[in-house]
């Protein structure tokens, strides 16, 4: 690889680290092309990115970012998952690692806070940003729905009483 290509790769990776909210580091040994494409597709669908990296280039790219503390994790056959959603990359990679023994979670970071393997697995159990938004929307709409039911209840009770009285008079 030429020096200019390495420089461009470092710049691209540095920009990725600078923009990401979370970084998850994995070791992947023996993944087939099909399996690599599958994990990349799952990551894209989750709104995250997956990239196999050279350790030396990744360590250089980390310099000056909030993820600098991850330097020691870059050993062996390394790949990274990054995302703007703090949970998306962790959730997708942990799920894939459970079903595929060729991948293992090494560690990660959220906004500069370093996580070990168990920390990443705990992060993966949290609801995603979209799930939290849906729950919040449900909580905000619930009082309005309850209010509508309460205001309709007296009218429906009155209608049933009137109907019962009309039935009684007809008999």
pLDDT tens-place string over residues 5-36: 889 989 999 999 999 999 999 998 888 899 99
Alpha-carbon gap, residue 113 to 13, rounded angstroms: 19
- Asked if pLDDT for residue 95 goes beyond 80, the answer is yes
Alpha-carbon gap, residue 30 to 168, rounded angstroms: 81
Alpha-carbon gap, residue 77 to 35, rounded angstroms: 15
Query: What is the pLDDT at residue 147?
Result: 64
Query: What is the pLDDT at residue 83?
Result: 92
- Asked if pLDDT for residue 110 goes beyond 70, the answer is yes
What pairs with residue 103 in β-bridges? Answer: 28
Report the chain's mean pLDDT, rounded to a whole number: 87
Residues 46/29/68/93 CA torsion (nearest 10 deg): 20
- Asked if pLDDT for residue 143 goes beyond 80, the answer is no
Alpha-carbon gap, residue 33 to 9, rounded angstroms: 22
The three state secondary structure string of the chain is: CCHHHHHHHHHHHHHHHHHCCEEEEEEECCCCHHHHHHHHHHHHHCCEEEEECCHHHHHHHHCCCCCHHHHHHCCCCEEEEEECCCCHHHHHHHHHHHHCCCEEEEEEEECCEEECHHHHHHHHHCCCHHHHHHHHHHHHHHHHHHHHHHHHHHHHHHHHHHHHHHHHHHC
Distances (CA, A) of 49 to 53, 84, 95, 113, 158: 12, 10, 15, 20, 59
């Amino acid at each position: 690889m030429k020096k200019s290509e390495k420089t461009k790769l470092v710049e691209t990776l540095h920009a990725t680290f600078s923009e990401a909210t979370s970084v998850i580091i994995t070791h992947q040994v023996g993944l087939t092309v099909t399996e690599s494409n599958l994990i990349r597709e799952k990551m894209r669908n989750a709104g995250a990115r997956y990239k196999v990296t050279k350790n030396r280039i990744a360590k250089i790219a980390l310099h000056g970012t909030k993820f600098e503390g991850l330097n020691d994790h870059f050993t062996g056959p390394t790949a990274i998952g990054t995302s703007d959603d703090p949970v998306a990359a962790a959730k997708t990679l942990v799920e894939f690692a459970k079903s595929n023994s060729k991948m293992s979670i090494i560690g990660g970071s959220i906004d500069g806070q370093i996580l070990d393997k168990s920390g990443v697995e705990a992060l993966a159990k949290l609801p995603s940003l979209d799930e939290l938004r849906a729950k919040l929307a449900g909580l905000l709409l619930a009082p309005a729905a309850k209010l509508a039911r309460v205001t309709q209840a007296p009218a429906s009770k009155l209608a049933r009483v009137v109907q019962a009285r009309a039935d009684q008079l007809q008999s």
